[in-house]
Structure 1
Amino acid sequence: MTTSSPVSFGLNVDPHAAGLPAAARITEIAQTTGLEYVGVQDHPYVSEFVDTLSLITWLAATTDTVRFFPNVANLPLRPPAMLAQQAATIDVLSGGRFELGLGAGAFADRIAAMGGPHRSHGAARAALSEAIDVIRASWAGEPFRHDGTHYQVPGAHPGPRPAHDIGVWLGVGGPRALRLLGEKADGWSVSSAYVPPEALPGMNGVISDAAREAGRDPDAILRLYNVAGLVTAEEDEAGEKAGDPFHGFVDHWVDTLVRLHTECGMNAFVFWPTRDRERQSLLFAREVVPAARDRLRR
């Protein structure tokens, strides 16, 4: 089930306060090796983390080609009208290099402990749907109002307009949320730690069916897979885990990524090393990605 969209690649950067120099160096790896994306997780209730959107702004100021996205922004702690303005501002400052990963909000107890709403799965999904409408209306740059169940915007005069058409990429996994994605969103950001490769074709099918029913082109929806693992030396037999698609030497990774594209329909990959992050990021960017691009061009 190969998608028609070109395949793109990126690296994960953690917003750890003690690791900001490493975050800058990993971002530089992505920039200098020609990768498309840097993703930054957003968990505001983690005391060791700096604010994700502030970190992205700082990193974007040191680069000029790589694109950034929160992976994914915690909606319950980020009101959508303000999130839309933050996203548009970063997009303007970066010259159109920001995409908005958006999540309904996992870890409900920790969200509530920070003063956010404690929503059921159904309420979180409904709030996510409303938020997409508020965000898109904000980016349109015209006065608007929204009178919803979860969000009320009685008279917004939004601005600035984004520098480009920012994509809204949802980090969701349930069938109803996947249908919402197909109906309204521009991309899907899902992680191998939560969704194994064998589940991807069926989930992609739900997204594509919903998109078609809504009169949208399913091939225009980005399908991004966050892959957590390690790149090992080919001769490192002790490091090879039998049957693990995300732990192995370069050719093993290339086989995995090509299969995830051709058989599972994914067309973007962000690498999350499970240890030795800078060296692993460099191995992925310099060795795995060029070999994968070459194979995919054949």
Structure 2
Amino acid sequence: MPDYGLDVEFGIFPSPDAARHHEVLELAQLADVLGLDHVSIQDHPYQAAHLDTWTLLSAIGSRTTQIRLSTNVANLPLRPPVVLAKAAASLDLLTGGRVELGLGAGAFWDGIEAAGGGGKTPKESVDALVEAMTIIRSFWAGERGRLDGEHYSNHGLKPGPRPAHDIPIWLGAYKPRMIRLTGQLADGWVPSMGYADPPALPDLSARLDEAAVAAGRAPQDIRRIYNIFGQFGSGSGLFRGTPKDWAEQLTDLAVGIGMDTFIVGADDPDFVRRFAAEVMPLTRELVAAEREGGSPGVPLETESPAPAEREAVATQDSSSFTAAQLAIPAHLVEVHDYLRSELDQVRDIVRQVREGHTSVGQARSVINTMTMRQNNWTLGAYCESYCRIVTGHHTNEDRGMFPHLLRADPSLEPIVTRLHDEHEVIAGLLDQLDQALVALVGDPGYGSDGQRALDTLSGALDQLTESLLAHLSYEEEALHDPLAIHGFG
């Protein structure tokens, strides 16, 4: 089977468990900070234990800045296409173009009928899906409704709003007609383990290619998103072994079959951390090596060198590290660069508020309508999210990475102690920033003209900026070689 040459992407597929809603949101935030590409949510409105999918995705969108949001897949019989198109376009605007729409023709019909969705034959459900895709795309394009279909109508509808970007449509498809429809019309194909295990993928993908070519499309125009499930351990089998085993199996699926996006079912933060730190970089390295016809560097699962060897390696030039080793400190820099860019955004927002607006009332009006890079939220909510992400990042380091490095190399204790102490200082500065935000956004009477509130907020930002940027730079320099040698743990 062909390799379509698309960048490999990764995501999580958390359970939308209403009893664990705080944990679900925190897991999505963690995935965002760790650099995953997608958070994807199943849609079963008749499932009593589940949160509503669009409400959950909206909450996730408010707490994240980079990760893309998708339904996996939206239950079309219970989501009228006009309403679905408007919901997706609205969330896309509110998150700066991060929505991807997965659609399904319908399953679990007893539940659908109990929820008022009515029943359909397999043919009728696919016919309805074709009509729905036509309505959704015309809505996003701003085209006045013209369809009077057998299942749906939008005749005379004035559409809006338009989304922030061209939202791709994925289809969950297994049967021949749905596979043909995906090849003809969809931007992505999203099968799941359990319904289409790896041995079934080559034939399904070949049929998808045939349908795409027959429709005048290139097969590589269709992303292949695979929902996978497993755990780390010493056992054999698909997605049951070490991170290295996972990376090799994902590479086989990418370059052997053409799957390019892997959405892993996960509710455990420790699993997600390990997946991001070990499986993702090694998979990308192995895929790149396969495509270049070379061999990848030393895998991440190699043992740490002996103490004498550690001392020798720690003094070596960075060019002598393998690509897999360098990927680990590079990932820390990526997380830090995100924190730096978001801090720049917070400062820029405050600068915009200060220029030409002297009263708190005027400032609040500007803040509440301001378009930020990723989220259309108030300054208070935006900064609150940023503070939470910084704190979460530092907590992960204090509880996981630092103890691991000390076990591997006790001589790092002075560095780790300094970094931990700096985390405490930054936590205090974040508290000061929160207090300044409460004064500005939460109390319109703070200062007769709002100037005092803005000065306090700017001062808090200046202190945070000075301390945080110095801390990030020191950590990257001091931990570069130790992380390359010992990993995140």
Q: Is the 8 A contact 1:171 1:188 kept in 2?
A: yes
Q: Is the 8 A contact 2:227 2:262 kept in 1?
A: yes
Structure 2: gaps spanning 5 or more residues: 290-489
Answer with 1 or 2: which has the greater Rg: 2
AA aligned opposite 1:157 = K
Structure 1 Cα separation of the partners of residues 50 and 227 of structure 2: 20
Superposed CA deviations along residues 62-93 of structure 1, whole A, max 9, x for unmatched, are 11111010110000000001100000000000
Structure 2 Cα separation of the partners of residues 8 and 290 of structure 1: 11
Per the alignment, residue 206 of structure 2 pairs with 205
* Structure 1 residue 142: Cα displacement: 2.3
* Structure 1 residue 188: Cα displacement: 0.8
For these two proteins, the number of residue pairs brought into alignment is 288
* Structure 1 residue 181: Cα displacement: 0.6
Per the alignment, residue 80 of structure 1 pairs with 81
Q: Secondary structure at the match of 1:61?
A: helix
Structure 2 Cα separation of the partners of residues 277 and 122 of structure 1: 39
Per the alignment, residue 282 of structure 1 pairs with 273
**Scaled by the length of structure 2, what TM-score is found?**
0.58
In the alignment, structure 1 residue 133 sits paired with structure 2 residue 121: no
Structure 2 Cα separation of the partners of residues 2 and 142 of structure 1: 37
Moved more, 72-81 or 151-160: 151-160
* Structure 1 residue 278: Cα displacement: 2.2
Q: Is the 8 A contact 2:25 2:59 kept in 1?
A: no
Per the alignment, residue 258 of structure 1 pairs with 251
Structure 1 Cα separation of the partners of residues 93 and 6 of structure 2: 26
Bigger share in strand: 1
Per the alignment, residue 52 of structure 1 pairs with 53
Structure 2 Cα separation of the partners of residues 220 and 182 of structure 1: 9
Percent of residue pairs bearing the same amino acid type: 42
Structure 1: gaps spanning 5 or more residues: none
Q: After the TM superposition, which residues 261-272 of structure 1 pair with which residues of structure 2 at under 5 Å, given as runs?
A: 261-272=254-265
Q: Is the 8 A contact 1:5 1:220 kept in 2?
A: no
Q: After the TM superposition, which residues 108-257 of structure 1 pair with which residues of structure 2 at under 5 Å, given as runs?
A: 108-232=109-233, 237=234, 240=235, 242=236, 244-257=237-250
* Structure 1 residue 155: Cα displacement: 1.3
Moved more, 17-26 or 247-256: 17-26
Structure 2 Cα separation of the partners of residues 90 and 13 of structure 1: 19
Q: Is the 8 A contact 2:228 2:262 kept in 1?
A: yes
Q: Is the 8 A contact 1:271 1:284 kept in 2?
A: no
* Structure 1 residue 277: Cα displacement: 2.2
**Scaled by the length of structure 1, what TM-score is found?**
0.94
Per the alignment, residue 4 of structure 1 pairs with 5
Q: Secondary structure at the match of 1:206?
A: helix
Q: Is the 8 A contact 1:231 1:283 kept in 2?
A: no
* Structure 1 residue 250: Cα displacement: 0.8
Q: Secondary structure at the match of 1:169?
A: strand
Structure 2 Cα separation of the partners of residues 68 and 203 of structure 1: 26
Per the alignment, residue 67 of structure 2 pairs with 66
Moved more, 280-289 or 192-201: 280-289
Q: Is the 8 A contact 1:41 1:72 kept in 2?
A: yes
Regions of 4+ moved over 4 Å:
none
Q: Is the 8 A contact 1:146 1:153 kept in 2?
A: yes
* Structure 1 residue 10: Cα displacement: 0.5
Structure 1 Cα separation of the partners of residues 90 and 192 of structure 2: 27
* Structure 1 residue 38: Cα displacement: 0.5
Structure 1 Cα separation of the partners of residues 241 and 26 of structure 2: 24
Q: CA RMSD in A?
A: 1.1
Q: Is the 8 A contact 2:255 2:287 kept in 1?
A: no
Bigger share in helix: 2
